[in-house]
Amino acid sequence: MSDIDFDEDEFLYDDDDEFIDEDFTEIIKEKEEKKKYEVDYKVYSIEEIEDFQNREIEHVANIIGCLKEHAATLLRHFKWNKERLIELYMDKTEEVTQEAGVIVDAQKLPKLIKMQDFCCDICCDSGDDVESLALSCGHRFCRDCYSQYLTQKIKIEGECRNIQCPSDCCNIIVDENTIKLLVSEDTYRRYTSLLIRTYVDDNIFLHWCPAPNCEYAIECRIHDADLQRLVPTVKCKCGHCFCFGCGLPDHQPCICSLVAKWLNKCRDDSETANWISVNTKECPKCKASIEKNGGCNHMTCKKCKNEFCWVCMGPWSEHGNQWYTCNRFEEKTSVDARDSQSKSRAKLERYLHYYNRYANHEQSAKLDTELFEKTERKMEKMQKSSELSWIEVQFLKEAVETVVQCRNTLKWSKFYIKFVFYV
């Protein structure tokens, strides 16, 4: 018998195993329930994004041994690619800091002071009681001029990460602490809001929710190559569902590149195509659309100068003096010309067929807002007239959302059929 005794059951089973097994089962179940066309994503609030920024700034500041304000400037210059920043900084410190507009050797932040014999180079104000400030570059200006300069940059020009020293030919960036020291609270809030927005805009895996007045951002680790095989549909906490790849509302099953082509075609061609289909015929030679504006059947294409008959579409050279009648409808050249036109017109009619159905679903989608309002009123009425709770009547809202989603899928399916099977 071994010197070490143990209970076999205790060795094989632990009190926590049950919970571990349950958690593991939930993970497996979640993986199995995930559809092939679904993507992983996370929704973040502004507070969470700001926290991400601060953690990355602190991490870089600790690695390269500089002030957080300088680390923030470097990160924004490298568009938050901290791996590349650290790599280049360790290899070419002076070149990187000069390009980014930072003097990292400065271990103290700028502060307002009063100096004897000071004269501001902008307003020429002087006096021992004038407060002034200088960045690490040494260019000193009075508080009022600096404040007006920063306010102009932030509130009027919408600048935040590349606000340079007011001195000509100086690229030193004004740090966040200095801006907070010099501008009003309202301007500083605008400044921090712009910084958060640029943080999201610089990250290819982060997008703002496009819904009006929504301040959430979505993270989705999707690459451009993936957009050729799937539609990365995400849903914000505000309820808006959209494609992470192009920002448009959910357009499954059509990939982004096809949707862009379709929308451009719809904007340019829909009304024109309807009129062309009714009022014109195509030149048998160059396929240019021609409108008949007189009684004679002898047509001359202005584009390629081809002469043909309006009735049979055959060459005019075969018609002799038959200006207003045509007896060559069954000639091979005429039949071939009409066949070519028929194929072209068939494509146009097919496009109009699918466009009209797409447009019908699009119009129906615009009425969904009214439908949602009616549903909410119905839910309130049902709750008052029955013993059902507000949670129990949520099935009505879920039913409407399902109908809306089905209509949206049908809308894009019309286009998908046209492009995949006919184009």
DSSP characters over 247-307: -SB--TTS-HHHHHHHHHHHHHHHHHHHHHHHHEEE-TTT--EEE--SS-SEEE-TTT--E
**Gap between the Cα atoms of 23 and 31, Å rounded:** 13
Q: Are 236 and 262 members of one domain?
A: no
Catalytic positions are 296
Show the beta-strand stretches assigned E in 86-190. Answer: 113-114, 131-134, 140-142
272 and 321 assigned to the same domain: yes
Does residue 358 lie in a domain region? yes
Cβ proximity of 298 and 320 under 8 Å: no
Retrieve residue 397's tokens.
């809202």
Q: What is the pLDDT of residue 346?
A: 67
**Which long-range CB contacts under 8 A does 69-76 form with residues at least 24 apart?**
69/109, 69/175, 69/176, 69/177, 70/102, 70/103, 70/104, 70/106, 70/175, 72/175, 72/176, 73/100, 73/101, 73/102, 73/161, 73/173, 73/175, 74/100, 74/102, 76/161, 76/195, 76/198, 76/202
The answer on 374 and 267 residing in a single domain is yes
Same domain, residue pair 229 and 322: no
Q: Are residues 227 and 264 in the same domain?
A: no
- Say if 221 falls within a structural domain: yes
Measured distance CA(141)–CA(110) in Å, rounded: 12
Burial of 335 (0-12, 13-18, 19+ CB in 10 A): middle
Helix (H) or strand (E) holding 85: helix 82-91
279 has pLDDT over 60:
yes
Q: What is the DSSP string of 46-70?
A: HHHHHHHHHHHHHHHHHHHT--HHH
pLDDT above 80: residue 75: yes
Give the whole-angstrom CA distance, residue 177 versus residue 198.
18
The answer to whether position 29 is within a domain reads no
pLDDT of 258-267, one tens digit each? 888 877 777 7
Domain assignment present for 65? no
Rounded to the nearest 10°, the torsion over CA 253, 258, 259, 261 is -160
Looking at per-residue pLDDT, the higher value among 10 and 108 belongs to 108
Three-class SS state of 244: coil
Minimum mean pLDDT range among 7-16, 37-46, 253-262, 407-416:
7-16
Regarding whether 401 and 291 lie in a shared domain, the answer is yes
The CATH code of the domain that includes 184 is: 3.30.40.10
Residue 9 vs residue 387, higher pLDDT: 387
**Is a pLDDT exceeding 80 seen at residue 294?**
no
Q: Are residues 322 and 413 in the same domain?
A: yes
Do 162 and 288 lie in one domain? The reply is no
In total, how many domains does the chain have?
3
Task: Give the lowest-confidence range in 255-259, 305-309, 396-400.
Answer: 396-400
Give CB contacts under 8 A, 24+ apart, made by 305-308. 308/283, 308/284, 308/337
| Domain-embedded: residue 394 | yes
Q: Is 114:129 a contact under the CB 8 Å cutoff?
A: yes
Q: Residue 421: in which H helix or E strand, if any?
A: helix 394-421
Q: Which residues contact 297 (CB under 8 A, 6 or more apart)?
A: 309, 310, 311, 319, 322, 323, 324, 325, 326
Q: For the sheet with 217-219, list strands across it.
A: 42-44, 217-219, 206-208
Same domain, 311 and 340: yes
Q: What is the model's pLDDT at position 295?
A: 64
84 in any annotated domain: no
For 301-326, write each residue's pLDDT tens digit: 888 888 888 777 778 777 666 555 56
DSSP 387: S
Of 215, 243, 271, the last residue of a domain is 243
Residue 30 reports pLDDT greater than 70: no
Domain of 218? 206-243
Question: Tens of pLDDT along 123-170?
Answer: 887 777 788 888 988 888 888 899 999 999 999 998 998 899 998 889
Does some domain include residue 323? yes
pLDDT grade for 189, boundaries at 50, 70 and 90:
very high
287 and 236 co-located in one domain: no
Q: Say if residue 153 is in the same domain as residue 261.
A: no
Residue 332 belongs to a domain with what CATH number? 1.20.120
CA distance 281 to 297: 12
Find, among 202, 205, 210, the residue nearest to 160 by Cα: 202
User: Between β-strands 298-300 and 289-291, what pairing exists: parallel, antiparallel or unpaired?
Assistant: unpaired
Helix (H, G, I), strand (E, B) or coil at 218: strand
The pLDDT, as a whole number, for residue 390 is 74
Question: In this structure, are 182 and 217 located in the same domain?
Answer: no
Residue 265, in any domain of the structure: yes
